[in-house]
Every structure is written in C-alpha cells, then in structure tokens.
Structure 1
Amino acid sequence: MGKPRSDSVVCLSRTGFHRMAYREWPAGDPVPVLCLHGLARNARDFDSLASALAADGRRVIAADVVGRGDSGRLRDPLDYGYPQYLADTTALIARLGSAQVDIVGTSMGGLIGMMLAAQPDNPVRRLVINDVGPFIPKAALERILTYFGKDPRFADLAAAEAYFRKTYRGFGALSDAQWRHLTETSLRRDGAGWRLHYDPRIAEPLRQGDVADVDLWPLWDLIERPVLVLRGAESDLLLPQTAAEMRRRGPCAEVIEIEGCGHAPALLDAGQIDPLRAWLAG
C-alpha cells in the first residue's frame, strides 16, 4: 500500500478557472474509488476509509469539492452549487483515465454521486451513499444552516475540538484520537489562531431563498447501477421511510443502518468501514 499523494485538476467555472485538489492512494485496481465529502467537510474525512481500501488493492481518490479544503475558491459565491460540483467531478474523473469509477459519497457527496449515476452513459459502476437520499426534510436543512457557512475563529485546537464535538455530534461516539484527527484536518491557520478550512461564502446560495423539503425521487428512479446506502440510525436527514423507499424503487438499494450515530456515519472505524469494503469488493 503506497502513501497518498496530493494533486489537483484545473476546472472551469462561469467566472474563470479554479483548482480541484485531491489525495490519491495509488494501487493496481483499474477501477478507482472516488470519495466525495459532505457539505462543510473535506477530503481528509476519508483518510481511514481510503487506507483500508488501499490495503485491499484499490486505487482511491478523495477530493476537496471547490470552496473546501485545498481546492480553489469561486469568484462568485452564487456559483457554489451542484451544476459546478458535477462539472468539476467530471473533470476529475476524466483525469483519472478510467472508463468506470466507484463513488463513495457522504451527504452532499452522495447527492453528487446520485446525480452522476442518473445521467445517460455515465461512468459510475457502483455507488455508496452515506446518509442522504432523494428526499431531504426541511427541518434537517434548517439545522445544518445553523452552522454551515459560519466563520468562527479559535484560539487553540482545544477550543476548535469542542466546537466540532458539538457541531458534529451526529457522527457518533468517536474516540479522542478520531475527534482530534477530524479537528486538525478541518482547520487552517489564521494569524495566531485557527479558522475553518472552507470558503464561508459557500452557504450564500442556500441563504438566497426559503428553505424547503428537497424531492429528488425522479432522479433516483433513473439510476440503474448497484447502490449501497448507509444510514445513521438516529439521522434526521435520511429518514427511515425514505431509506425504506430507496430499497423498493429505482435501483432498489441495499441499506445498512449504523447504530449509535445520526447524520452522518463518520466512516472512521472498522465497524462502519468493513461492510462498505465488502460491498465494493462484491
């Protein structure tokens, strides 16, 4: 298993070019696994999963969606949205040089995967969706907007870790080492302190209109690829009835419920990673 390397691909937006950064674990498998993170997160969320998949011989790529992590920032914040995210992801897939790709997407990353897999002649071979679905209730979006796009400053890592433990308590009972890893990989230096490693303007498109339920069932029904859905047992974003319907219609997904967490399973321990590894290997 090789160590990950950092790279980027140049992407085009309405107002110019920007970089999409990614980390790659090289291996011999010709079909790469592309990992796409949640709304306010970054590629480092997949360090544990990527290492485990790389040990299985898989080539793994974990990307920073534009505006997050080491990727570039858009000049017009209103361009932060799924059309741009899909275009950038397509450019990255083209860079990988494979006719097919397996996608693991958490929350926003899962929606990107769904949207790609619903397109004609798409390159998605298998799709793992982590705690999101074709129906997203308004209440969950309102909760996310209480922290998404905010720009807190932290005097030290201890203060930042306390913030992450509160904000992402839905991740479940992580170990102290896991919380510290999540904290350290979610920050950037700002003078004598720390701030979140994203462009706070990424929230502006969501704040332009009224928050409402999101219904993507017509998109779901177009997917013809094998799909695995992970659901946090206490999730307020992927409701039990939505997961049940995802089993019944469209690609008729396999659903695994992860006990002890809400939105979203952090994919940091073997109990969550091993079922995903086995399904991708199948």
Structure 2
Amino acid sequence: MSYQDFYYTSQEGLRLYARLYGDALSPGTPVLCLPGLTRNSKDFGKLAEHLSAQRRVICPDFRGRGLSAYCESWTDYTPQAETRDTFDLMTALGIPHAAVIGTSRGGLVATLMAAQRPGALKGVVLNDVGPEISSAGIKRIMGYAGKMNAPDNWDIAAITLRQMNERQFPTITGPEWHEFARQTFRDEDGKPALDYDTKIGDGLRKGMKLTRGKVPDMWTEFNALLGTPVLVLRGENSDLLSAEAVARMQETHPRLAAVTVKDRGHAPWLDEPEAVTAIDAFLEELDRQA
C-alpha cells in the first residue's frame, strides 16, 4: 500500500499518527477516515487506496490506538478529546475542510465536529452509527473491549475473530478472516498483540455505569449536520444501528441518503461493492458542489 507515515503533536502534547494517501494537490475533496472504538487506520486501507486516485485521504489512529500515544487515564478517552485531536490533525496538514468517513466511534466524532465547527465538513459518511444506538450492540462491545487477550498465533487470531463475528458476517471467507486479524492486531515479534490501550474498554464500561446502562442519544448534536450532505451505511445484520433509527434520520435530515450493506453486521468493512459505489457517488457529488 502506498501511504506516508505522518506524526503530529496534539494541543495536549500527545504524539499522534496518521496514514496519508494520495497527492496533497489532488483536486478532489480531501477525505478523513475516522475509525471505531478499538480500531485504527488499517481498517481503511483498501478504501483509502481506491479513493486516493482522485483525492487526498487521511486515516488517523485515535489516541491510544495503533501508532498513536497512549493516555495515562481512561478519562482521557472520549469522543470529545478525539474530536479535538482530529481538528489538530487538520491544522497540522493545512486542511481547512474535508469529507469525513466515520465508522462507529469515528461517526460520533464526525457528528461532534459538525456541532463545533460545521464549516470544516463538506460531507459525512456515517458507517453503521447514528445519533441513536442500540444497547445490545454496546453490551456486546463492552464484553470484549479491553478484556480480550492477545491470541497465541495468527491462526488462532483469525479463528477467534471468526467465532466472534461470523453470525453477523456470514459470507466472509477464511483468508479474509486472516486479513481481518492483521487489521485487528499488531505484529509483535511474529505474534499478534493488542493494538489499543485496554483502558479504552474500561472507559466505556465505567461511562455506561455512570449512566446506569442507558445509552445517551445525540439527536441534538445530529441537528448540526442538517446543513451537510450525509450518507449512512448500515450493516444488514447490525446490532448497533437499527433500521428504525436510520428511518428517523432520513425523516429528520433533508439531504441524507441511506444504503444497507448486505450480509454485514457492525460495521461494514467498506470494501463491499455497494458501499464503495455509494461512497464514490457521494464524494463525486461533493466535488461538483465545490
């Protein structure tokens, strides 16, 4: 894969990392790809390669993930902090505005970005996330985030991920699970290792305890997106974003398109033909409006 490593320092003094794809002078709207709770820039590799033919693509590792610095306390792992870091990244790269593709947690960060600095967003792709998320999905994520031990070898890593996710992703092949394992874990002396700070999982569980298990909604923040084109991708088998929530989003937002990705749960991998086609069309429309 052809990307550049980029390190920058946040306002809080954290050394953070991002992958840069494509030419900085490309005419297309630049794209920021923001990952899920325990995920990182590797998840967007195939999509970023594809999109970089027409535009600059920036894929950061949020704090505590991948090659970015870890924090001292679980309280420092919040969407609000990750929003600040993302704005710092845009400043460091000299990018005043971009389209954002946010998977799960990354979509929540995109929503907060719109609430704080709406002019920075040309458009937003929400990958299996919205202002209202299902408690079943949160409980499932709470069950493994920060609790999962690193597998002994890469074969076991692929098997473990398949066992955890096969019901929601029934058509993924054996080699694809091995590839997903390489995205999920980092290589440490030839063996898989966790690629995120386990305190992130602690923060999620403690946050839910403070709200007594109730998942706060973000409809107020979602209103900040009403003037911005939005594309929602929902996994057909998702337990985090319901079809009813997507329908309400469509009723609320006059410029929101929604696509269901077949045979996928939370969250689509963004290499599915219907997802790539939808994203291409969405970004091309943004380019025309520029």
TM-score (norm 2): 0.89
* Alignment correspondent of 2:79: 82
| CA RMSD in angstroms, aligned pairs only | 1.9
| Pick aligned residue for 2:252 from 249, 274, 282 | 249
2:129 aligned with 1:141: no
For 1:178, give the aligned amino acid: E
Quote the offset at 1:186 in angstroms.
2.2
- Correspondent of 2:239 among 229, 236, 239: 236
1:23 aligned to 19, 22, 25, which one?
Answer: 19
CA distance in 2, matches of 1:181, 1:23: 19
Any idea what the Cα deviations from partners look like across 1:72-111, whole Å, max 9, x if unmatched?
1001221111121011011011122122101000000111
Q: Residues of 2 paired with 1:211 and 1:65: CA distance?
A: 25
1:104 aligned to 2:104?
no
Number of corresponding residues: 277
Residues 58-83 of structure 1, C-alpha deviations (whole Å, 9 max, x = no match): 11111111111111100122111112
Point out the structure with the larger strand share.
1
Contact 2:31 2:100 in 1 (8 A): yes
What one-letter code is carried by the residue in structure 2 that aligns with 1:187? F
Which of 229, 233, 237 is 1:226 aligned to?
229
- Kindly state the Cα deviation for residue 168 of structure 1 after the two structures are TM-superposed: 3.5
Q: Which residue of 2 aligns with 1:272?
A: 275
Equivalent-residue separation in structure 1 for 2:148 and 2:134 (angstroms)? 25
After superposition, give the CA deviation of every residue in 1:193-250 in whole Å (9 maximum; x if it has no partner). Answer: 4222111111122222232122111111222200000011121111111000111114
Aligned partners of 2:114 and 2:172: how far apart in 1? 32
Is 2:10 the counterpart of 1:8? Answer: no
Provide the rounded CA distance (Å) in 1 between the counterparts of 2:170 and 2:124: 23
Task: Say yes or no: does 1:127 pair with 2:129.
Answer: no
Unmatched 5+ stretches in structure 1: none
Normalised to the residue count of structure 1, the TM-score between the two structures is: 0.92
Task: Write out per-residue CA displacement over residues 164-203 of structure 1, whole angstroms, 9 at most, x where no aligned residue.
Answer: 2233333552333432222113223456742221111111
CA contact (8 A) 1:227 1:251 kept: no
Bigger helix fraction: 2
Structure 1 residues 265, 81: closer, same or farther in 2, change over 3 A?
same
SS of aligned partner of 2:6 = strand
Question: Counterpart of 2:86 in structure 1: which amino acid?
Answer: T
- Indicate the residue corresponding to 1:178 in structure 2: 176
Take 1:225 and 1:128, find their aligned partners in 2: how far apart are those partners?
A: 11
